[in-house]
Structure formats: structure tokens, C-alpha cells
Structure 1
Amino acid sequence: MGSLFRSEEMTLCQLFLQSEAAYACVSELGELGLVQFRDLNPDVNAFQRKFVNEVRRCDEMERKLRYLEKEIKKDGIPMLDTGESPEAPQPREMIDLEATFEKLENELREVNQNAEALKRNFLELTELKHILRKTQVFFDEAAPAIHVPNKSRNRYQQMADSNREEERVNLLGEEGIRAGGAGAQGQNLKLGFVAGVILRERLPAFERMLWRACRGNVFLRQAMIESPLEDPANGDKVYKSVFIIFFQGDQLKTRVKKICEGFRATLYPCPEAPTDRREMAMGVMTRIEDLNTVLGQTQDHRHRVLVAAAKNLKNWFVKVRKIKAIYHTLNLFNLDVTQKCLIAECWVPLLDIETIQIALRRGTERSGSSVPPILNRMETFEDPPTYNRTNKFTSAFQALINAYGVASYREMNPAPYTIITFPFLFAVMFGDLGHGAIMALFGLWMVLKEKPLAAKKTDNEIWNIFFGGRYIIFLMGVFSMYTGFVYNDIFSKSLNVFGSTWSINYNTSTVMTNKALQLNPGTNDYSGTPYPIGLDPVWQIAGNKIIFLNAYKMKISIIFGVIHMLFGVFVGLFNHRYFKNKLSIYCEFIPQVIFLVFLFFYMTLMMFIKWTSYSASSDTVRYSAGCAPSILITFINMVLFKPSAPVGECDPFMFAGQSGLQKFLVVVALLCVPWMLLAKPIMIMRSRKEVAHQPMAPYSNENGDAEGGLNQHNAAQPPVNQQGGTGGGHGHENEEMSEIFIHQGIHTIEYVLGSVSHTASYLRLWALSLAHAQLAEVLWNMVLKNGLQQEGWIGGIALWAIFGFWAILTVGILVLMEGLSAFLHTLRLHWVEFQSKFYAGLGYAFQPFSFEVILDASSSSSED
């Protein structure tokens, strides 16, 4: 848990591995996930590295596995997933895996090619079957050649409907001649024909092209094939139509065939004699039955191959990806001059060195090498990566912090404090016992069902965000239930747990008829005993509820904000002390605290003084409710040194000596501004003059980081540059004095103006809390209240329907939309108002070589 408050101590190590043991050792380190390797060959092309051939072999194996996976998913075969992660196979096992994948791929491709050829043959026979069936009807209808003009007259009628007058006149002349010739010659008119199939959507354009290109001297008949046919190339279902085209002469025949070829229509031989057509149809049916049998056997064989592959596919993917990751990592290493030893540099957590050495020895034993690996610690001036150990509970809060910026090395981590402050500030804005219960139950359900829900591994991004933040959602709901209980607000109604401390001294008729009546806390209307916890339920029906809650929630927002910011400043003190940065303590922390306490914390103290000193039941006029001064006006007059005169018996000051104390506080707070602005640059300038005769080298003096923040925490820990005031970043040893003055000026202006704007920013706690309460009240009065006013069985049905509508609006608007709004505002308060007081966030995350991380990333990318 200690590393959650401050990142783990990291050290840079040099690792020497024998070539024959390197693979097994890296495999053990990948299972451990505690080592981040550095690339020692940054200028070497990826295709020129030592293990590039092994990586290519892994890519090829992964390609074959993806092909198998695609075929398995196409057939809807479930893939066995035991949830276990097999160890990375030995390099000699790669040959066996390659042979297995090669055999499976070749066998599956051969089966698919044969199946496609069979399906193509089956499609052709099926189309021929339909042609023989449909054309029989065509021949029966068009048997006498003299009927051609009659059929043509149908075409003339269609052309007349489409207003093609010129073509119609020409064709009428031609067909009239042909008709007359046919009548004279009788049955001697001989027509040729072609038959085929075409995609149904191409048929209208095909028909128009035939008509125009052949000048109407062709006769087309078509009929739809009712059942869809399977495309052997991609398995899609397509709809086709059978057609037959009658024509006369070889010239028209050539023209018709070219048009059919252009529209990708398939032509089939069709005998003229009915007996020949029947004989061919019987042969086609026999061949179709045989093909069905062969296709069924082929599909069964393909299914058996895929089922056998599906049992091992997940494990194969894991093995191949682990092998690939190991060789990618080995490509980061250097070879020594003897070409027998691999040299690596890596960042490791200081506390895990022994665990890493055990893993290295285990890998050496697995490989059969007799030479043990060597792990040497190195000293460096490079900033180490930031590593915060987390678990499933703290990881979500750490992710919120890292979204703003990764902490600088050994900088104070805001995540442990955020575990409490984040859901609490959210609940101040979302305070409703009912809505908080809905959110808490949803979060609790995800927490209790996290194992089966995590095993589903969906690619729905919104669900993954909710599930990843399940503990945050649960805590936000629980804290909202608490604040809702304090506000005494549940779905815009109140809970009368302890009974009201207010009483009504009027009779019922007076109360019901006179709406101008008010309860006076200075009379017997109020018992004088405060409500045990939270707000009295009578405020929920009071006419001045908004006025009362306005003042109450506005003040607690300022109080929480000032305390939150003060806490952030004090967290910065821990940074300065850890990095032994005394200069930042004296020149930044102390004036910052004085400025914030003397102005804004004093304002919060005045709120408590006002609450305790003034009362409606006070016997003294000066301390009555009407004489209570405005905190805002008092604070403005204090900052502007504006005198305040008494009004009648009312004193603008709450206690004796307040005027002098306020002037003293403002003067001291204003003196803190030049203190923050000039003290640190002047001290740095003086320190540089004192050491001007010494060589410029990193050192640690009694002032810690006065020269630039270089100090060595211990003999084993590499020195780390830190910037005073933020606890992270770079030092000032190479900066010009002008840049230091400018930087300090920006830092001072940001803090002084930020103290004002950040304090006002916490008023969002008040604004969103009031908005949430009012939305809930509006939803109750405009929706659910209407259902409660109905009586009888009709009222029951109406209430059922209206309640459903009210519940949908409550969950959709008040829980989801308002919850998201409050979440974003809380996130801003932590990122800007709180973390700006101490958090630099200039580090980079520790990214160890971990099989678990690599496999998770690969599985998510494959699902996408």
C-alpha cells in the first residue's frame, strides 16, 4: 500500500544472458511482468535485427491462425477457452507448430477449393434445371412461328406506353413485313434462340439493351427463379431469372451473345426437341443428387477439421503471441563481442530484484545452461519510470489520476486521497437517497458479478467504462445515499425519522385557507432543539426552502473547497521534504499556506462564527437574525480596506477587534505575494555566486535542491532531478536567471489568482446540488403526482403507466445524465483545483514486459 502514496523506487539494471538461456529467461520475465527493457539498438532498422526471421515466422503463424479463426467463426463453431495461459513453448517447438498450422491451412484451403468447385458445378446444374423447366413453357406458348407478331404486339403496346413513338413506327414497319412473310410461308419461318440466367436486378437494363441494339428484332421471355441461389465465391444468396431470346439470323445471334456476355448472363445449351429436353432434365437431376451427396461429405469433413482446430485455437494464439513477444524483446538486446552473450538494460522495482533473480535462475535451469545470468545495478541521471502498485479496487482511481498525467518519479500520488474525496464531492452534488441507492445497487451488482462479467469480454466501449469503474460507481452511490440522508431528500421527498422540531399553532381551517402564514423560529413554533442529523423534514414543504438551502449549500461548498485546497498545499509539503527541497518549503509552501489561510480559511471561520453567534431567539438585538452580517460583503470590505459603519443597533463586525485583525491578515497575505515571487530566484542567484569558483557538477548541499534539485537519495539510488514547489520535473541548474524569474512569476500569479478562482469554482457543488434537487421535484410534480391524483381502478392503471414513465425519466435524466455531469465536475475539481497545488504529472508510466498485458491488448484488437 505504501507505493500507492508514492511510486515504487526504481533502479536501472544491466542484464547478461547466455544466448542459449536468453529465450527461457525472457519468457520467465514475461510471466512475471516486472521488468521494462530499454532498446539498445535504436538506430538499427527493424529488418536488420538479429531475430527478425523468428518474428516473421511468428507473423506467418499468426496469419494462419487468423485464417482458421475466420473459418471457424463462419461456421459458428464455439472455440474452447479454458481461461488458462500456457507457457511459452521452447524454440524447437516452433517447427512443430509451424508444421501443424501449415497442414491445417493447406487441408482447409483444399477442402474450400473443392467445395467451391462443387458448389459452382451445383449452381450451374441448378440453373440448367430451371432453364429446362421454364423454357418448356416458353416453347409451348411460342410453338407456331406465326405467333411471333402477336407477341411483338405486346411489346408495341409497352413501347406506346413509354412514349417512344419513332422507334414504334419503324418497328411496326419491320414486323409488319415479317408478319406478312410468315403468313405467306406458313410454318417455314425458322427462329434461333439462346437461353440462360441473369441476376434479377440486371434484367431491366438487359432487356432495354437488347431492344435497342437489335432494333426490336428479338423476342425475349423471362421468368423468375423463386428460391435464391448460393454464390459459390462468397456464399451470398442471390436472386436470378431465366430468359430465352428468339431471333433470326447469325448476325443477330452474335449480337445477342455479346450483349449477354456484357451483362454477365450465363448461357446454357437447351435442346429444341421436347424429348431431348426431358432426357437432359433427368440427367441433370441425377447429377444434382450425386453432387448433393459429395457436397455433404465435403462439408462434414470441413466441419470435423474446424472442430478439431477450435479446441486448441485459443492456446495456439497464446503460444504464438508469447513467442513473438519474446523475440521482439530479444531484438532490444545487444550482442557482446564473442556473440555468445546477450546484454540488456532494464528498469526494475527495487523491492522486486530478488523475485526477478529467482525467475532468471528458473529460466536458466529450463534452458539447461550452466552459466547463471548476471543482474547488475547501474547509476544513471535519467528519470526512472513511475510505478504505482494497484489492485482491482485502486486501479480505477489510479486511472483517473493518470488520465491527467502520470506522476513524476517518487512524487506524491493523489490516488489514495481521491478514493475518499472523489465520491464525497460527487455526492455533495448528487445528494439524493433514492438516486444514490440506484447507483450503489448497480455498482454492487457489477462488483458481486465481476468474474462472470469480466469473462464475457465484450467490445462495447460504454459497458467497459462502466465495468472498469464499478468500485467508483459503488462508492459514489454509497456516499450519495449519505449526503441524501443529510439533505433529507429521497426522490424530492423527505423522511420523517425523528419527527419535526417545528409545530403549528393554528387550527386546520386557518392553515388550509391562509397561504401567507409563516413559522417563526423566535416563537413557540420552533422547539429550539436541532434536528438530530441533517435537515428537518419540514423544510421539504416550506415555501422558503430554496432560500434556506441556497445559503446552506453555498457555505458548505466554500468550506469543503478551502479545506480541499489547503490539503493539496500540505501534500506538496511532503514532496518538498522527501526531495529535501528546503528552499521550496521556505519560499513557496509557507507563503502559500499563509495566503490561503489568512484570506479564505478566515472566511470559512466567519461562517462558523455567524452560525454560532446569531440566532432568531436571541435576547440581544445585536446578535439577532436580522443583524447577522453578510459574509461576502464583509470579505469584500476586508480586502478593499473599506470601513463599515454600524446600522442602528446592528454591528457589522462579529467580535471585538475584528477590524484590526482583518487589516493585519490582508497585509500579511499581500506580503506573501512578493515573498513567493522573488525569494526563490534571489536565493538561487546568491547560491550560484557562492559556488561560481567550483566546477559545475551535481551535488547535494545543506539546502538540498537550491542549486537545481540534484540529490542522491542513497548510494544505490540514482540521482533524480526535481523542481522545487511541484515535487517533480526538471531542475534549474541549466536555466538562465531571467527564465527562473519568469517561471516564478507565472507560478506566483497562477497561485494567487487561482486561489480566488478555485474557491469560486467549488460553488459548482452548490449549483449542481440545487439543480439536481429541483429537477427531481419538477419530475415528481409534473409526472408522478398526476398518477397519484386518480382514484379507483382507472387510477391504478394510470399510476402503473405514469410510474413507468417517471422511472424511465428518473434513471435516464437524474441518474445517468445528472450523474455524468456531477462526475465530470468532480473530475475537474480534482484535476485543476486540488492537484494543481502539488502535482506536476510530468513522469512516464512503467510499462513492463508482461505477457498478460500483451495478450489482453491482442485479444481486444482482434475483437475490434
Structure 2
Amino acid sequence: MGELFRSEEMTLAQLFLQSEAAYCCVSELGEIGMVQFRDLNPDVNVFQRKFVNEVRRCEEMDRKLRFVEKEIKKADMPIVDTGENPEVPVPRDMIDLEATFEKLENELKEINTNQEALKKNFLELTELKHILRRTQQFFDEMEDPTLLEESSTLLDPNEVNRVAPLRLGFVAGVIGRERIPTFERMLWRVCRGNVFLRQADIEDSLEDPSSGDQVHKSVFIIFFQGDQLKNRVKKICEGFRATLYPCPETPQERKEMLAGVNARIDDLQMVLNQTEDHRQRVLQAAAKAVRVWFIKVRKMKAIYHTLNLCNIDVTQKCLIAEVWCPVSDLDSIQFALRRGTEKSGSTVPSILNRMQTKQTPPTYNKTNKLTSGFQNIVDAYGIGSYREINPAPYTIITFPFLFAVMFGDLGHGVLMTCAALYLVLRESRLIAQKNDNEMFSMVFAGRYIILMMGLFSIYTGIIYNDCFSKSLNVFGSGWSVRPMFNVRVGGNWTFETLEGNKILQLDPAVDGVFKGPYPIGIDPIWNIATNKLTFLNSFKMKMSIILGVIHMLFGITLSLFNHLYFQKPLNIYLGFIPEIVFMASLFGYLVLLIFYKWLLYDVRLSRDAPSLLIAFINMFLFNYSDPTVKPLYTGQQALQTLLVLIALACVPCMLIVKTLVLRRQYLWRKNLGTQNFGGIRVGNGPTDDEAEIIQHDQLSQHSEDEPEAREEEEFNFADVAVHQAIHTIEYCLGCISNTASYLRLWALSLAHAQLSEVLWTMVMHIGLSTRSVAGFFLLSIVFCFFAVLTVAILLIMEGLSAFLHALRLHWVEFQNKFYLGQGYKFLPFTFEGILDGKFED
């Protein structure tokens, strides 16, 4: 269990891989995902590395597969996902894969080109068919003598009396329906009204062969006289992208052409159907294998990219790699290297050699489905420093509990738990569906966090006895009105008194009025009490202080284990001890006062109970002369004065003493306390042997980024003093501000309870106020509104607010006591992360 509370022990290892076995060995390491490769060629351009050509070939194959995938999606075909994880193909299979993808791409492109040409031809024939039909209708209408006379009059009014009508030229074509008004206006203006335009819409939409969109077009025919107008009309048609088609002048020729066009359309439709069937067969075959192809290509690309990080020895027969890996997984890594060597057929085994280094290893915390969400919460604040205490195991309990303190409601907790249980129980199906919705993916990733928050909310809801703002009277109230009714002086309380007064005061000092505490949680009678808010304010405020101080003391205690592990006794004696004494002597004492007051003052002494707030303020002001403030216990003044003095004495220990001790240690290491005069040791410093040990230890603590050890940097007393002063002031003021920050537990809890009560009173109460038959239908409608508002406001908005506040309490108030978060994350080379889209640079 040690790795759960502290990051894994890491080591830097050197791998010696034979050239023929390197590919298979890296493949096996990618399958287990336990090593992080270091780039040994940081100064080499990516285009000058050894395996850059293989990477380019993999990228080209990936491009072809994306083209095939795009065609499959365009055809609305499902890509078969059997969950298979194929092995990495050997390097010699790359040629076969390239040939397969090249053939598939060329075949699809050829099919698409032919299909587009056929569709274009089909569109032209279809438009010509509509033109022939519509023009025949136009000419049939023009044979009407009335229309003929009108048209000839419009074109040439001076020749109305001629016997034979004018012989007009015409052009026919197709244009987009939305361009008709502008097209007609342009014709009229350019030709000065000397043309005659007839147009009709094509009822069926036509498919654009280039884009595949459905377009609506219209047929038009333009009559004109003379070549000059003909040229103008053609230029206008060209400008408006209108397609002109040849149209015979005689009805017989038009009829024969229409019959020929129909026959060609039928033949073309048959060819199009056969082409589409062939395309569907090709895509269906590709859809079954495209996912496996993607996995193979991306694995190959990842392997060659990783091989580019390695060095090649002078003999060109061995690759040298450096990797970070967990010490506990060295056996698994060795076994993977043996598998890769055997698979490649190499007779020379791969060598793994552990290295000594001054560099800080990456931080690696092993997680599972439950702990990964909480670990992500911690890592969002900062990746933990190497081997320091990991807050995630404690966050699993404290985070949902502090959330539940603010969100405590039995009904809302049950709804949240049911939603989380649905995600947990159906997680395998939901993972297989691969939902791309970002919001759903985020909620699904935190399903175990939501489940824990829901369960803890149920617990705190029982403690608060709050279920949708109503109390549950399961065990019967501990208060009774009957003794008060019997003992009233002169029998003043009658049944009429009880019925006529909405507010009556129960005196717990009367025997029998208060029978005893409610078995669990808050007594349900407080739900109807007028001083409910006053009582809950006092209770939840004190509870927040208690939880906050315990949480912070626990965080300070965890820092002790860090100091012990890193062997820093100075931080224990002049850091941890003054900090915890300062915190306990002030705010720990306040917690004890709260418990002492709860235990000491019963119902008969409660009126004389002094205020804890006034007592705590007077403690800092050393003000004990106020006669109105009674002491809580004998010797309170002496004890509180002692505690304040102890707390004040801790400040110079952290502020001054630690800085002076650090300076003294530096001077001791620098001068070594030794002066040799003729072989005689003078002074009380270490011996020569001890001095060598000290020098060796000091050199081993130098900066990790420097390849060679150097002498210790000059000790800057001013910088250290300022740094220590900032830390001390921040801690001392933080103890006050952080304790006050935990009052958000009280504030958000009351806000959630009041908002829930307002929602019940203003919404649900309307449906319950009517007892007639119509009230049933009214209640159904009101309940729908109540449910929607409950989920939207109280569950989602209030839940998110409580989540963020709990997050802040852990990041700022808890983790800053012991967690530095100055490390960097262990990013192993793993195929699983690459295939999920989490590419690493």
C-alpha cells in the first residue's frame, strides 16, 4: 500500500537494443506502457533523424486511411469496432500495407471520378429533358393567335398589320431558381425590352454532381431578333452561370430528341446504379478493416517516432535509449525486452542498465477507476514533487465529505447517487459507444467522484434531517407539548390557546417537555420552529470551525512524514513543531472550547453561557476586566495567556531562528571548522574524514540539470531571510484566513437548505394546496416544474457551486500545508494513450 500514499520510486535506465530487435522491443514496451523515453538527440532536427522516412511513410498511410474513413462516413456506413487490439506489424509488412492502401485509394478516387462524370452527364440530360418539355409547352402557347398578336405588337408596333408574324430567334437553358428575378431584370435593361422571356420552375430538385447538394432550378426560353441581341443574351446567360442547351425549332425534331434523351437517361441510370453498388461493396469491405488498419499504422508511427529519440552507436548495430521507469516494474520491463528479442529472431539479448543520476525523476502515481478522478483533482493543482506525500488517498474521503457538508440533503443525495450508479453500472456500454460530447465525457470521467459525493450527501442529509427541505419524523420527536400544557400556572394553556396561537414557546427545563435527543440527526420539530435558522446557524458555524481546524491540523501532520522521509530534521524542529503548536494553541483551543461549552452548559445553565466569540477576541487582547463576560472555567485567564505567549514564541522560531541555523550550517560546511597547523587539528568542527563526507553530500545535492558537480553556491542571508519571513507571515495569517474560509461550509449549507425550502414553498406548495379532482392535474403539472427546477438549480447549479468550494478548500487550505506540487508527470510510452488520441510530444 506504500505506493498509494507516496509516488512510485523511479529510476533512470539505459537500454541497449540491437538494430534488428529494437523495433519489436519498443513495440513490447509500448504494450505494457511502463517506460518514458528521453530524447537523446535534442539538437538534431526532426528531418535529419534516422527513421524520418519511415515516419513519413506512416503519415502517408494515415492520410490515405483518413480519406477512406471520410468516404465511409459520407456513405453513412458504420465503422465496425470489435474492440480488437491487433499486434504491431513487422517492418517488412509496411510495403504490403502501403500497396493495399494505395490500391484502395486509387480505386475509390477512380470510382468517385467516374461517378461524378456520370452524374454530371445525367444532370445535363435531365435538364435537357425538362427544356424540351417546357419549350414545347411554350411554343404550343405561342400558337394562340392572341398571344402571337400581343408578342408581335410588343416587339414591333409599326408592323402590326403584317399578315405573317416575325421570325424570331431563341435560346433555351436552365438557371438557378434564386437568380431568376435578377436575371430577368438584367435582360430587360441590357436589351432595352427587345427580348421576350418565358420561364418555368422544375418541380423536382436536382443533385449537384460536384458537391452532392440538392439544388432547385428553372427552365427559361428567350426570344429575340437579330444577331446583336443574340450575343448580348448569351453573354448575360454566361455571366449568370446559366446553362444553354440546343433546342430544335420544329416540334417533330424536339419530339425525336426527347425520346433519345429519355433512352440515354435510362441507360445512364442503370450504369449509375451499378457504379454505386460497386462503391458500396468497396466501402463495406473497407469499413470492416479500417479501424484495425488505423491501429496498426499509428502503432508503427509511434514506434518509429520513439526510435528517433534513441542514439545509434558508431557500429550502427546498436541503439541506445534512456528511459524513466518504476523500480517495481523492472522485472516486467525485462520480460518485455526478452519477448521483443525473441519475436525479432535476434540472438543477442537486449540490456537494461540502471543509471545513477542527479536529475529529479518524474512523479508517477498508480491509479485505478476509483482513484483516477481524485488523482486528477490533485494534479490539476500541481504535479506532486518526487516521492512527497500524495494527497489523493485522503482526498477520496475528505473531498466528498466536505462537499456533502455544503450539499447535505437526503433527497438530492439519492438523486445524485442514482445518476452516478447508472454511469458506473453501464460504464462498459457507455465506453463502447464513444460519445463525443465534451460535457458528457467530463461527467462520465468523474462518475466515481459523483457517486461518493452522493453517498456522503445522503449521510449528511440524515444528520441534518433534511429531505427536499422537509424533515423526516422516523423515531418521533424528543419534544412534547403535553407537560407544558399540564404545568402552566393557573391552567392558562387550554385547547383554545393551542389552536389560536401559532407560536408557543417550549421550555426544556420543564420535566417531560424534552424527553431526550433524537436518535440520529436533528430533531424534526425544528422544521416548524420559528427559531430554526438561529439554531442551525449556531450549530453549522461551530461544526464548520471544528471540521476546518481538524482538516488543517491533519495537513500539517502530513508534512511531518515528508520531513522524515527526506531526512530534514531542521524542518521538523523549526518548521513542523512551531507550526502545529501555533495552530493548536490558538484554533485547536477554540475547538476544545466549543466542545467544552456543549458539554458543560445544559438547559438550566444555558442562559448564563458566555459568548465564545467574545472570549476568543479577549484572549488576543488580554482583556479580562469586563465584568459582563463571565469566565468559562477557573484559571481561564492564566491558560489563555500562556497559550497566546506560546503561539507568539513560535513566530521567531520560524522567522529568525531557522534562518540563523541555516546560515550557521552553511558557514560550518564552508569552513569545515578545521585549520591544520603542522598536522594539528584546531577547532571544534568535523574531522578530515567527516569533512570529506560533508563535501560529498553537499555536491550530491546540487542542481540536477548540471552534468558535473560544482561548489556550493554562495549563501545569501538576505534572500533566505526574506523567503522565510514571507513563509512565516503567510502561514500565521493563513491560519486565521483559512479557518475563516471553512465558514463557507456553513454558508453554502444554509444557502442550499433555504433555496430548497423556497422552491418547495413557492412551487410544490401550490399543487398541494388544492384537494379537488382538478388539484390532481394541477399537482402533476406543478410537480413537473418542481422536478425540473430541482435538477437544474439544486442538483446541477448548487452541486457545481459546492464542488468548486470543496475544490478550493483542498487546494488552498489543506494541500498548502504539506504539498509543494513542483514535480512533472510521468508520461510513459503506451499505445493505449496514443490510440485514445492523447498524443505526446
- Please tell me the TM-score bracket, short chain as reference: over 0.9
1:844 matched to which residue of 2? 824
Given that 1:424 and 1:476 are in contact with CA atoms closer than 8 Å, whether structure 2 keeps it comes out as: yes
Are residues 417 and 707 of structure 1, via their aligned partners in 2, closer, same or farther at CA, if it must alter by over 3 Å?
farther
Give, in whole Å, the separation in 2 of the partners of 1:287 and 1:614: 104
Work out which of the residue numbers 746, 767, 774 in structure 1 matches 2:726.
746
Secondary structure of the residue that 1:187 maps to in structure 2? coil
Counterparts in 2 of 1:14-413, with a 5 A limit? 14-143=14-143, 147=147, 150-151=150-151, 175=154, 178-181=156-159, 183-413=160-390
Given that 1:149 and 1:179 are in contact with CA atoms closer than 8 Å, whether structure 2 keeps it comes out as: no
Letter in 1 for 2:609: A
Given that 1:407 and 1:844 are in contact with CA atoms closer than 8 Å, whether structure 2 keeps it comes out as: yes
Letter in 2 for 1:553: K
Alpha-carbon shift at residue 94 of structure 1 (Å): 0.5
1:685 matched to which residue of 2? 663
1:515 matched to which residue of 2? 502
1:163 matched to which residue of 2? none
Secondary structure of the residue that 1:675 maps to in structure 2? helix
Given that 1:583 and 1:706 are in contact with CA atoms closer than 8 Å, whether structure 2 keeps it comes out as: no
Letter in 1 for 2:787: A
2:624 matched to which residue of 1? 643
- Asked if residue 476 in structure 1 is aligned to residue 453 in structure 2, the reply is yes
Are residues 544 and 596 of structure 1, via their aligned partners in 2, closer, same or farther at CA, if it must alter by over 3 Å?
same
Given that 2:699 and 2:712 are in contact with CA atoms closer than 8 Å, whether structure 1 keeps it comes out as: no
Give, in whole Å, the separation in 2 of the partners of 1:516 and 1:133: 91
Give, in whole Å, the separation in 2 of the partners of 1:549 and 1:769: 10
Counterparts in 2 of 1:519-530, with a 5 A limit? 519-524=506-511, 526-530=513-517
Residues 335-382 of structure 1, C-alpha deviations (whole Å, 9 max, x = no match)? 111111111111010111111011001101111111111111111111
Moved more, 682-691 or 571-580: 682-691
Alpha-carbon shift at residue 146 of structure 1 (Å): 8.1
Are residues 546 and 285 of structure 1, via their aligned partners in 2, closer, same or farther at CA, if it must alter by over 3 Å?
same
1:169 matched to which residue of 2? none
Identical pairs, percent? 63
Secondary structure of the residue that 2:522 maps to in structure 1? coil
Counterparts in 2 of 1:604-683, with a 5 A limit? 604-617=591-604, 624-647=605-628, 652-683=630-661
1:801 matched to which residue of 2? 781
Alpha-carbon shift at residue 735 of structure 1 (Å): 5.7
Alpha-carbon shift at residue 190 of structure 1 (Å): 1.4
Give, in whole Å, the separation in 2 of the partners of 1:859 and 1:218: 66
Structure 2: which 5+ runs fail to align? 486-493, 674-688, 706-710
Given that 2:40 and 2:322 are in contact with CA atoms closer than 8 Å, whether structure 1 keeps it comes out as: yes
2:489 matched to which residue of 1? none
Give, in whole Å, the separation in 2 of the partners of 1:645 and 1:234: 89
Alpha-carbon shift at residue 524 of structure 1 (Å): 3.2
- Asked if residue 442 in structure 1 is aligned to residue 419 in structure 2, the reply is yes
Secondary structure of the residue that 1:459 maps to in structure 2? coil
1:164 matched to which residue of 2? none
1:591 matched to which residue of 2? 578
Give, in whole Å, the separation in 2 of the partners of 1:246 and 1:63: 53
Give, in whole Å, the separation in 1 of the partners of 2:529 and 2:48: 80
1:171 matched to which residue of 2? none
Work out which of the residue numbers 566, 571, 577 in structure 1 matches 2:553.
566
Secondary structure of the residue that 1:267 maps to in structure 2? strand
Secondary structure of the residue that 1:114 maps to in structure 2? helix
Give, in whole Å, the separation in 2 of the partners of 1:707 and 1:654: 58
Work out which of the residue numbers 801, 809, 821 in structure 2 matches 1:821.
801
Counterparts in 2 of 1:428-577, with a 5 A limit? 428-505=405-482, 506=485, 507-524=494-511, 526-577=513-564
- Asked if residue 780 in structure 1 is aligned to residue 757 in structure 2, the reply is no
Residues 58-117 of structure 1, C-alpha deviations (whole Å, 9 max, x = no match)? 111011101110111111111111112111100000001000000001011101111000
Are residues 442 and 377 of structure 1, via their aligned partners in 2, closer, same or farther at CA, if it must alter by over 3 Å?
same
Secondary structure of the residue that 1:347 maps to in structure 2? strand
Give, in whole Å, the separation in 2 of the partners of 1:246 and 1:422: 83
Letter in 2 for 1:605: L
Give, in whole Å, the separation in 1 of the partners of 2:433 and 2:769: 46
Moved more, 804-813 or 126-135: 804-813
Give, in whole Å, the separation in 2 of the partners of 1:11 and 1:710: 21
1:727 matched to which residue of 2? none
Residues 172-223 of structure 1, C-alpha deviations (whole Å, 9 max, x = no match)? xxx57x1222x24332511111100011111111111111111111111110
Letter in 2 for 1:685: R
Given that 2:17 and 2:318 are in contact with CA atoms closer than 8 Å, whether structure 1 keeps it comes out as: yes
Given that 1:408 and 1:844 are in contact with CA atoms closer than 8 Å, whether structure 2 keeps it comes out as: yes
Secondary structure of the residue that 1:78 maps to in structure 2? coil
2:682 matched to which residue of 1? none
Given that 1:432 and 1:480 are in contact with CA atoms closer than 8 Å, whether structure 2 keeps it comes out as: yes
Count of aligned positions: 810
Alpha-carbon shift at residue 569 of structure 1 (Å): 0.3
Given that 2:481 and 2:513 are in contact with CA atoms closer than 8 Å, whether structure 1 keeps it comes out as: no
2:833 matched to which residue of 1? 853
2:742 matched to which residue of 1? 762
Give, in whole Å, the separation in 1 of the partners of 2:590 and 2:48: 68
Give, in whole Å, the separation in 2 of the partners of 1:769 and 1:572: 30
Letter in 2 for 1:590: I
Secondary structure of the residue that 2:14 maps to in structure 1? strand
Secondary structure of the residue that 1:345 maps to in structure 2? strand
Give, in whole Å, the separation in 2 of the partners of 1:130 and 1:583: 96
Alpha-carbon shift at residue 525 of structure 1 (Å): 5.6
Moved more, 734-743 or 842-851: 734-743
Given that 2:663 and 2:715 are in contact with CA atoms closer than 8 Å, whether structure 1 keeps it comes out as: no
Given that 1:684 and 1:707 are in contact with CA atoms closer than 8 Å, whether structure 2 keeps it comes out as: no
Structure 1: which 5+ runs fail to align? 154-174, 618-623, 696-700, 713-717, 723-730
Given that 1:436 and 1:478 are in contact with CA atoms closer than 8 Å, whether structure 2 keeps it comes out as: yes
Are residues 841 and 78 of structure 1, via their aligned partners in 2, closer, same or farther at CA, if it must alter by over 3 Å?
same
Given that 2:409 and 2:458 are in contact with CA atoms closer than 8 Å, whether structure 1 keeps it comes out as: yes
Given that 1:644 and 1:652 are in contact with CA atoms closer than 8 Å, whether structure 2 keeps it comes out as: no
Alpha-carbon shift at residue 734 of structure 1 (Å): 6.1
Secondary structure of the residue that 1:799 maps to in structure 2? helix
Alpha-carbon shift at residue 292 of structure 1 (Å): 0.5
Letter in 2 for 1:554: M
In the superposition, the TM-score normalised over structure 1's length comes to: 0.91
Alpha-carbon shift at residue 500 of structure 1 (Å): 1.0
Secondary structure of the residue that 2:819 maps to in structure 1? coil
Given that 1:581 and 1:709 are in contact with CA atoms closer than 8 Å, whether structure 2 keeps it comes out as: no
In the superposition, the TM-score normalised over structure 2's length comes to: 0.93
Given that 1:146 and 1:187 are in contact with CA atoms closer than 8 Å, whether structure 2 keeps it comes out as: no
Alpha-carbon shift at residue 390 of structure 1 (Å): 0.3
Give, in whole Å, the separation in 1 of the partners of 2:748 and 2:357: 50
Alpha-carbon shift at residue 736 of structure 1 (Å): 2.4
Secondary structure of the residue that 2:162 maps to in structure 1? helix
Give, in whole Å, the separation in 2 of the partners of 1:107 and 1:765: 66
Alpha-carbon shift at residue 143 of structure 1 (Å): 3.6
Are residues 409 and 799 of structure 1, via their aligned partners in 2, closer, same or farther at CA, if it must alter by over 3 Å?
same
Give, in whole Å, the separation in 2 of the partners of 1:151 and 1:767: 87
Residues 428-450 of structure 1, C-alpha deviations (whole Å, 9 max, x = no match)? 01111000000011111111111
Letter in 2 for 1:71: E
